[in-house]
């Protein structure tokens, strides 16, 4: 075994430089927090740590009256009697901008004008692919599709526009981005992730945080983020949502923490906790994860919010607390600063008792409340807690729609093509399948409603695939034969007849909209009826283009072989229909790359960065399509991979360069991917790991030199002592088919 060169001081240093220059402002905020805390009663403080859902302050049974309206009495009860610090969510479905303005104004009037100290309420919302709870907002591809763009600039833009539209709704806090790593394809929240790779998730997460928060949370169009779900939520053994994960410390540090570290260093304001459990310990009660790692190691300075009802669940579900009160004590002492209670005031009552009894020290309350108030000051809520109506100007503007379309275009990933695509301008096509004529399948969960499945509430001016293709090719050239969509039986004779008059059949497969636990599945395979439909159509002998829409890679191996092309649409958002049509007819040259491994078989779920022993003795990484894969209508050639050093001193940088040429006859975008292999290590090392990427545009015959810089830190890993180390030795760089090796001294 070799000796580690050095142990990293995690991100403490990086974090302390992140906001260099803002010292004056932050000391001012700190003194305002101190002054305010000094004036607050225990009741007022404990109230700040409470978050309730809007139902609690709304009219009607369970707050669900339609049309939605706040109940002034319930509101005063929550804000004046229980001093709630935060409210979240929508009662049923998305509100208009005007309704948001009304209710945020109503809430803040009570909080700032009627309460003793005038502390504004912090409103929080899930705006996970745009301001999805504001009607008409710009709804982007879901994050798995944003990841397929491999373009941090597009993610940053998405975050900027989302922040703008959320703030335009009067809301300053967004429960996004999900930084869970998507390494289990069954998990119904895979679509909310940026995929399976540590580096890709970290880079896109950083871009999101910077786009949403900017450098000044007080700016009128910026919104505080909440990194979620810290940590280990995405790796349930069973694949089912909110179930147990077992993640040894080395694995946790190698695969699950780096993205949170990166986003914290970028200034992320809040963190939301994993609803489930890791290593037998519900994370809401895990002092080690919430303090030793999050605070001491990662230097997180913001506040920690629980997930929905998860403090209570320590008693009701996990049974690690023998009473609701013990659950509150455990969670607060483990590091939960704010509880998303969210349906009552029990947390307030119980925490108050606990402090009075001495079971929770005042100092812990001051710490939590101080963190919450700090964010309220930073967001400028004490100066102006009201919606800024001038932001209506760019809400859902043509400019934002164009940015959304640009993202969808770059997300779409061409996985197979024997030349049938792009379609010719005069092609006659039949479009069929359950995802052909619906907007909800392009958007899925977190769209207008939580489940995103209420098609009737979707905007009338957005195009599904059929409509978008008809707009491109002309209605007479595009025949839609509904099949397997809700309410339509499979009428194969009618379909076969239509296909016999067409040049190409476009078969749109995939998943219905879902979100969280309702999206659990027992089988990764796509439903038999859909596979049967595709097989029948393939049997007709007409060229078949499969389009897949969905949040996870459902198994379709048996139909891909017989199809002429496969287009992966993921969940491309409100402009997804248009973007897909543009790709199908060749107006857009596809450039998306898979952000996950597309499995071939249900029991061969291997990630791309597997270990050597997983591919020894006849075992193979032979997925249907590998991580990072995606075709184009043009071709690219790589040559001259060069390294600045054969032998790299430990403090030097390695310059890597490669020539990339467009060798086809269309302009196209290519994602140049740099992988590192550590040839020998004191713990077994992955066969390769993504360490850099760049998306470039090349005209036909154009060639470009692409350069990357690597440092020792990029060669680091979690060693036997569970600490990050760098070991000298031999490394291999791979870009495309080219490889070069060097030695780290």
List active site positions: 307
Cβ 443 to ligand BGC shortest distance, Å: 17
Least gap, CB of 264 to ligand BGC (angstroms):
18
Least distance to ligand BGC from the beta carbon of 515, Å?
A: 9
Q: Which residues contact 376 (CB under 8 A, 6 or more apart)?
A: 119, 120, 122, 382
The residue (of 86 and 112) whose beta carbon lies closer to ligand BGC is: 86
Nearest CB to ligand BGC, comparing residues 344 and 516: 516
- Regarding 51 and contact with ligand BGC (CB under 6 A), the answer is no
Cα distances from 61 to residues 66, 69, 448, in angstroms, run 10, 12, 21
Element at 545 (helix H, strand E): strand 544-549
In the structure encoding, which two tokens stand for residue 302, read together?
A: 């913001």
Min CB(226)–ligand BGC separation in Å: 7
CB of 395 to ligand BGC, least distance (A): 22
Per-residue x/- marks for ligand BGC, 228-267, CB under 6 A? x---------------------------------------
Beta strands (DSSP E) in 253-317 are 270-273, 277-278, 281-282, 303-305
Of 114, 131, 234, 229, nearest to 173 by C-alpha is 131
**Which of 444, 526, 357, 362 has its CA nearest to residue 132?**
444
Give the shortest CB-10-to-ligand BGC separation in angstroms.
26
Q: Which is nearer to ligand BGC, 54 or 79 (CB)?
A: 54
Of 307 and 337, which has the nearer Cβ to ligand BGC? 307
CA-to-CA dists, residue 702 to 57, 635, 661, 675, 696, angstroms: 61, 11, 6, 24, 11
- How many CB atoms sit inside 10 A of residue 736's CB? 17
318 binds ligand BGC (CB under 6 A): no
Q: Is residue 202 a contact point for ligand BGC (CB under 6 A)?
A: no
Rounded to a whole number of angstroms, the minimum distance from the CB of residue 126 to ligand BGC is 5
| Residue 143 near ligand BGC by CB under 6 A | no
Residue 89 binds ligand BGC (CB under 6 A): yes
* 58 Cβ contact list (under 8 Å, min separation 6): 64, 65, 68, 69, 70, 71, 74, 91
> Which residue's CB is nearer to ligand BGC, number 126 or number 378?
126
With respect to ligand BGC, which residue has the nearer C-beta, 15 or 225?
225
- Integer Cα distance of 413 and 147 in angstroms: 11
Q: Of 151 and 451, which has the nearer Cβ to ligand BGC?
A: 451
Cβ proximity to ligand BGC: between 228 and 685 the closer is 228
Q: How far apart are CB 184 and ligand BGC at their closest, in Å?
A: 16
Phi, psi angle pair for 744, to nearest 5°: -90, 125
What is d(CA 232, CA 545) in angstroms, rounded to the nearest whole number? 37
Q: Is 308 in the site for ligand BGC (CB under 6 A)?
A: yes
CB of 83 to ligand BGC, least distance (A): 21
**Phi and psi of 234, rounded to 5°?**
-80, 5
How many whole angstroms separate alpha carbon 52 and alpha carbon 61?
16
Residue 272 or 560 having the CB closest to ligand BGC = 272
Alpha-helical (H) ranges within 140-287 are 143-148, 152-168, 198-213, 249-251, 258-265, 287
Cβ closest to ligand BGC, residue 516 vs residue 614: 516
Query: In the bound complex, what is the minimum distance in angstroms from residue 685's beta carbon to ligand BGC?
Result: 33
- CA 136 – CA 93 distance, rounded (Å): 12
Q: Which is nearer to ligand BGC, 283 or 509 (CB)?
A: 283
CB atoms within 10 A of CB 246: 13
On the 0-12 / 13-18 / 19+ scale of CB atoms within 10 A, 278 is buried
CA 85 from centre of chain:
26
| Interface with ligand BGC in residues 260-289 (CB under 6 A) | 275
H-type alpha helices, 379-486: 398-411, 440-443, 465-473
Binding flag, residue 307, ligand BGC (CB under 6 A): yes
At closest approach, how far in Å is the CB of 516 from ligand BGC? Answer: 6
d(CA 270, CA 365): 17
Q: Which of residues 532-591 bind ligand BGC (CB under 6 A)?
A: none
For the record, the structure tokens of 587 come out as: 């107006």
Smaller CB separation from ligand BGC, 89 or 607: 89
**Considering only residues 111-130, where is the footprint of ligand BGC by CB under 6 A?**
126
Contact between 516 and ligand BGC per CB under 6 A: yes
Calculate the dihedral angle through the C-alpha atoms of 573, 574, 578, 579, rounding to the nearest 10 degrees: -30
- The two beta strands, 565-570 and 413-417, are antiparallel
Long-range contacts of 517-521 (CB under 8 A, 24+ apart): 517/188, 517/240, 517/241, 517/242, 518/188, 518/451, 519/188, 519/189, 519/241, 519/445, 519/551, 520/188, 520/239, 520/240, 520/241, 521/186, 521/188, 521/239
- Angle (nearest 5°) at CA 116 between 114 and 118: 70
Min dist. Cβ of residue 307 to ligand BGC (A): 5
Q: How many residues bind ligand BGC (CB under 6 A)?
A: 8
d(CA 599, CA 555) in angstroms, rounded, equals 7
Alpha carbons 258 and 251: distance in angstroms, whole number: 11
Which two tokens mark 597? 């491994």
What mask, x for binding ligand BGC by CB under 6 A, covers residues 154 to 193?
---------------------x------------------
Closest to ligand BGC by CB, 84 or 698: 84
User: What is the nearest approach in angstroms of ligand BGC to the Cβ of residue 573?
Assistant: 19
For position 93 contacting ligand BGC by CB under 6 A, the verdict is no
- H or E element, residue 547: strand 544-549
Chain residues that interact with ligand BGC, rule: CB under 6 A: 89, 126, 175, 228, 275, 307-308, 516
């Amino acid at each position: 075994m070799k000796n580690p060169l050095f142990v990293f001081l995690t991100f403490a240093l990086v974090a302390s430089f992140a906001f260099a220059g803002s010292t004056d402002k932050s000391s001012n905020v700190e003194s305002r927090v101190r002054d305010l805390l000094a004036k607050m009663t225990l009741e007022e403080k404990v109230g700040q740590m409470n978050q309730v859902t809007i139902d609690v302050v709304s009219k009607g049974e369970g707050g669900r009256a339609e049309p939605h309206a706040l109940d002034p009495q319930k509101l005063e009860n929550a804000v004046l009697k229980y001093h709630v610090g935060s409210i979240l969510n929508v009662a049923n479905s998305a509100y208009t901008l005007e309704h948001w303005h009304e209710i945020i104004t109503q809430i803040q009037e009570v909080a700032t004008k009627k309460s003793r100290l005038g502390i504004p309420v912090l409103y929080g919302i899930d705006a996970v692919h745009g301001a999805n709870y504001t009607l008409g907002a710009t709804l982007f591809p879901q994050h798995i599709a944003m990841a397929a763009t491999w373009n941090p600039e597009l993610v940053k833009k998405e975050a900027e526009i989302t922040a703008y539209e959320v703030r335009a709704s009067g809301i300053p806090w967004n429960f996004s981005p999900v930084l869970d790593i998507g390494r289990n394809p069954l998990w119904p929240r895979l679509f909310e992730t940026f995929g399976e790779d540590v580096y890709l998730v970290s880079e896109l997460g950083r871009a999101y945080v910077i786009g949403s928060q900017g450098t000044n949370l007080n700016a009128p169009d910026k919104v505080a983020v909440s990194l979620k779900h810290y940590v280990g939520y995405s790796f349930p053994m069973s694949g089912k949502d909110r179930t147990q994960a077992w993640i040894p410390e080395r694995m946790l540090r190698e695969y699950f923490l780096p993205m949170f570290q990166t986003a914290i260093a970028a200034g992320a304001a809040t963190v939301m906790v994993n609803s489930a459990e890791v290593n037998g310990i519900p994370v809401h009660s895990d002092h080690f994860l919430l303090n030793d790692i999050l605070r001491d190691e990662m230097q997180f300075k913001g506040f920690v919010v629980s997930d929905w009802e998860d403090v209570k669940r320590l008693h009701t579900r996990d049974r690690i607390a023998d009473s609701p009160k013990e659950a509150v004590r455990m969670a607060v002492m483990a590091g939960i600063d704010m509880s998303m209670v969210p349906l009552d005031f029990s947390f307030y009552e119980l925490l108050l008792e606990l402090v009075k009894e001495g079971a929770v020290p005042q100092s812990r309350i001051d710490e939590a409340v101080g963190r919450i108030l700090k964010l309220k000051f930073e967001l400028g809520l004490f100066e102006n807690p009201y919606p800024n109506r001038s932001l209506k100007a760019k809400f859902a503007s043509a400019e934002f729609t164009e940015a959304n379309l640009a993202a969808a275009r770059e997300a779409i990933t061409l996985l197979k093509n024997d030349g049938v695509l792009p379609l010719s301008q005069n092609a006659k096509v039949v479009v069929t399948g359950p995802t052909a004529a619906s907007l909800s399948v392009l958007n899925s969960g977190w769209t207008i409603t939580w489940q995103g499945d209420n098609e009737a509430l979707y905007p009338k001016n957005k195009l599904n695939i059929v409509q978008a293709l008809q707009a491109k090719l002309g209605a007479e050239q595009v025949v839609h034969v509904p099949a397997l969509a809700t309410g339509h039986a499979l009428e194969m004779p009618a379909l076969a007849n239509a296909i016999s008059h067409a040049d190409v059949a476009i078969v749109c497969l995939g998943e219905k909209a879902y979100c969280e636990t309702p999206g659990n599945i027992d089988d990764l395979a796509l439903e038999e009826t859909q596979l049967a439909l595709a097989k029948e159509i393939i049997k007709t002998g007409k060229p078949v283009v499969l389009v897949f829409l969905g949040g996870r890679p459902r198994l379709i191996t048996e139909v891909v072989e017989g199809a002429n092309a496969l287009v992966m649409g993921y969940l491309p958002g409100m402009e997804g229909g248009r973007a897909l049509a543009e790709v199908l007819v060749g107006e857009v040259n596809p450039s998306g790359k898979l952000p996950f491994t597309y499995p071939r078989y249900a029991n061969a779920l291997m990630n791309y960065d597997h270990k050597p022993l997983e591919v020894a003795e006849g075992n193979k990484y032979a997925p249907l399509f590998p991580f990072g894969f995606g075709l184009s209508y043009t071709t690219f050639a790589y040559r001259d991979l060069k390294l600045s050093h054969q032998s790299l001193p430990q403090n030097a940088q390695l310059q890597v360069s490669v020539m990339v040429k467009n060798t086809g006859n269309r302009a196209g975008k290519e994602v140049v991917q740099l992988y590192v292999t550590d040839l020998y290590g004191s713990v077994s090392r992955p066969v390769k790991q993504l360490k850099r990427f760049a998306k470039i545009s090349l005209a036909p015959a154009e060639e470009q030199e692409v350069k990357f810089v690597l440092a020792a830190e990029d060669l680091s890993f979690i060693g036997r002592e569970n600490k990050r180390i760098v070991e000298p030795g031999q490394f291999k760089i791979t870009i495309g088919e080219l490889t070069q090796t060097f030695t780290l001294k």
